[in-house]
Amino acid sequence: MTKFRLLFKQYRWAILSALLLGSSYIPLPPWALFFCWVPIWRDVIEEKSLKRIFLKGWVLQVIAISIGFHWIAYTVAEFGNFSWIFALAALCLYSTTVYLYFPLAMVAGVWLGRKTQMPLGWQFATIASFHVVGEIFWPAIFPFNLGYPLYYVKMPIAQTADVIGVAGLSWLVYLLNAQIAWLSHRKERVAARVLAFSLLGFLLLNLWGWQKKAQWEGGDRTLHILQVQANIGNFEKVQATKGYAFQSEILSQFFALTQEGLAQHPETELVVWPETAFPDYLGAHNAGRPYTRQLIEFARTIKRPILTGGFGNDPPDHFPRRQYNSLFLYDENGNAVAPYYFKTYLLIFGEYTPLGRQFPALIKLNPAGEGWGWGSGPLVMSHRNLRFGPQICYEGVYPEFSRALARQGAQIFVNATNDSWFGSPFEPMQHLMVTMARAVENRRPLIRSTNTGITSVALADGTILQESPTHESWQGAFAVPYRENPELTFYTKYGGLLPLVVGAFILLACFAKRASKTKSLAGRIRVGKHRPPIRK
């Protein structure tokens, strides 16, 4: 018991910060977002051992990630078809290894601060900046970012993401944590002045964000869409993917929900179905397949274009012939509109076997098999005067992907998703908010169609329209305002410069103490030259 007490005492601030951080991430209210890092940063700044700093950061990482991303275990079991013992082991492995930039950022910040003898405030700011560097560059499957909770609670400051991106918002959150940590070491009068100045700056940024939201309301065009959420179970989808069964039942549900929605909303111009909604292969070279013919006839019957997820493959004369998780657009005459989009960012195990191409024996060990082929990257799908930017599932969480679509001329983003593999309620809301933030960064409306929820639309001003229920069959109509020739935002054009800005800030911090010492030395020299003579 004594050893346990000593261990708890040693890591108590790491545990406290982990609980504050884990309980402030989506879908929980971000009540401690602006001070959750303060306890551990105050602790590690006084810690002499870099090894112990790393261990404290690692403890925080394990606890916080286990709280916020506990659904990883469910995903491994459902999506990867592994046993629950393996799934829990995978969660443990994920929380202990995937976000190692947490402790590394603290080690790097403390080490650099001591090496250059930074003032205390600059040391905290450097640690904060290294965290943002980790968020941007660390190869995590599901990127972690503290800017998204600001969008989740609809803070006007989130509207500035079209200038600094959500990663820039996250940097502001970290810097506010650093300032509070620094203020806790200062005299009361100094702390009060700096805090008042920071609150004024935060208020001005929110006012600026409020003005930006008003600037992007509405559009010069409106697209009326019908979204269909059929709530197909995982077992049925797996069997349909393998071509064993349930194809007819799945199609019947989508056809029935679509016809029901069109009867209620005859103004519909486009029908949107989610990821892998169509349980067979699509594309012009697959037009003769029985289920594909049914879709073609259905499009002709309803006289509406259908944008749907489905299975893609290479033409018969292509070798090797690969299969793809894909998005297809069929016009009102039942014609497949080229180009088709093949998913680029595949999820490990469920959609591909790591190192499977180099070591084919590994494919046999993966219950999901070989998986899908890799797409060639972002591309724009066009139909008449509309230009869609397609994304499948987690491609919406990568800012660079959406920025590329906007630069290619996309007017509207379309994200097709199947979140049935991820459980409820944490992941569906996290995935929704992380994806919808791309609408604010690039000022394009984003249509999000899911199999089990949450299906919705985010407008260019960041407003999220009606959200579908989760794990229920549902259909809903949306009027989506968009701009015929939307301008590129500052973030769309220059968002890649943010790491350089953060790096320059860290470099500036390295010279903060050095400049201060030089100035102080110069002052002493001047005083020495003009000092009065010493009387005997």
User: Cα–Cα distance between 29 and 203 in angstroms, integer?
Assistant: 20
Name the CA radius of gyration of the chain, rounded: 27
For the question of residue 343 being annotated catalytic, the response is yes
Look up residue 152 and give its amino acid. Y
Backbone angles phi, psi at 15, to 5 degrees: -65, -40
Cis amide leading into 360 (omega within 30): no
Q: How far is CA 255 from the centre of its chain?
A: 32
Handedness of CA 50, 52, 55, 57 (dihedral sign): negative
Residue burial 487-523, b: 16+ Cβ < 10 Å; e: rest: eebebbebbeebeeebeebbeebbebbeeeeeeeeee
Handedness of CA 346, 352, 353, 355 (dihedral sign): negative
- Selecting among 56, 212, 237, 343, the annotated active-site residue is 343
Q: How far is CA 251 from the centre of its chain?
A: 31
Backbone angles phi, psi at 436, to 5 degrees: -65, -25
| Three-class HEC string of 156-182 | HHHHHHHHHHHHHHHHHHHHHHHHHHH
Contact present, 135 and 148 (Cβ < 8 Å): no
Tokens of 493: 């054009």
Backbone angles phi, psi at 483, to 5 degrees: -105, 135
- Selecting among 275, 395, 427, 441, the annotated active-site residue is 275
State how far the alpha carbon of 240 is from the alpha carbons of 9, 205, 279, 404, in Å: 54, 50, 6, 33
User: Cα–Cα distance between 394 and 373 in angstroms, integer?
Assistant: 16
For the question of residue 154 being annotated catalytic, the response is no
Q: How far is CA 106 from the centre of its chain?
A: 23
Which residues have CB under 8 Å from 304's CB, separation 6+? 226, 262, 268, 269, 270, 271, 332
For the question of residue 303 being annotated catalytic, the response is no
Tokens of 312: 């893609």
- Selecting among 393, 395, 427, 441, the annotated active-site residue is 393
Tokens of 447: 């249509």
User: Cα–Cα distance between 498 and 310 in angstroms, integer?
Assistant: 36
Q: Identify the CA nearest to 393 among candidates 442, 335, 456, 344.
A: 344
| Three-class HEC string of 95-160 | HHHCCCHHHHHHHHHHHHHHHHCCCHHHHHHHHHHHHHHHHHHCCCCCCCCCCHHHHHCCCHHHHH
State how far the alpha carbon of 389 is from the alpha carbons of 43, 74, 380, 467, in Å: 46, 30, 5, 21
H or E element in which residue 475 lies: strand 474-482
Residues marked active site are found at 275, 343, 393
